[in-house]
Amino acid sequence: MTEIDAKIVAQLRSQTGAPIKDCKSALVESKGDLKLAVDVLRKRGIKAAEGLSDRAASEGLVFSYIHHNGKIGVLAEVCCETDFVAKNAEFLDFGKKLVQHIAASLTLRYLDRAAVEPAVLEKEKEIAFEQTKASMPGKPQQVIDKAVEGRVAKFFAEACLLDQPWVHDGAFTVEQVLKQLAGKMGENMRIRRFARFDMRQA
């Protein structure tokens, strides 16, 4: 078993806020690698959040952001289960970073994949198929289908908020970061809606 220095455990706890027991086990799993241990804790948080998704999230806050030039504004409603968590510093930090993320995204159009109109999705699939067929002549159908899936996934990552790489840490999507927080807090959380205003695109 890997011997874990107490100072590294303390450092991981300070960095993530996770309980000491969880920090120790994550460091053992990562063989003492601090960066990998952070990822272990994040993935555990995502997994823990899976079991919370059916619970009602009727509390929360509306977060806002106005860019320094006054040309971009964002509102986003983030829900949780209790008012106690809505006042938690990490929940507040997530909301603040979320509206900054939305402000920075020029391609954002939808909250999630379910919000994409069927006609729009069909058009994107058609475009992806034509582009793939033109760039991969003679390839087997299964190879083309796989490439089309990749192009459509890229569309979702650009257009859907929950699929976008988190602008503050591109290793995780917005949805994964939200689930990490939900797992850590032990409450269901969701982004209910958002609005982005950009005078440059009016």
Q: Which residues pair with 65 in a beta bridge?
A: 74
CA trace torsion 14, 39, 20, 1 (10° rounding) = -130
Would the CA dihedral through 47, 50, 55, 60 be positive or negative? positive
pLDDT of residue 139: 81
Strand intervals (E) in 14-67: 59-66
* 149 shares a domain with 127: yes
pLDDT of residue 202: 57
Residue 165: CATH number of its domain? 3.30.479.20
The residues, ordered by sequence, that sit 6+ positions from 28 with a Cβ below 8 Å of its Cβ are 1, 2, 4
Q: Which residues of the chain have pLDDT under 70?
A: 1-3, 15-17, 19, 45-49, 202
The answer to whether 26 touches 37, Cβ cutoff 8 Å, is: yes
Q: Domain limits at 46?
A: 6-50
pTM of the predicted structure, to 2 decimals: 0.77
Provide the domain count of the chain: 3
pLDDT of residue 126: 92
* 149 shares a domain with 76: no
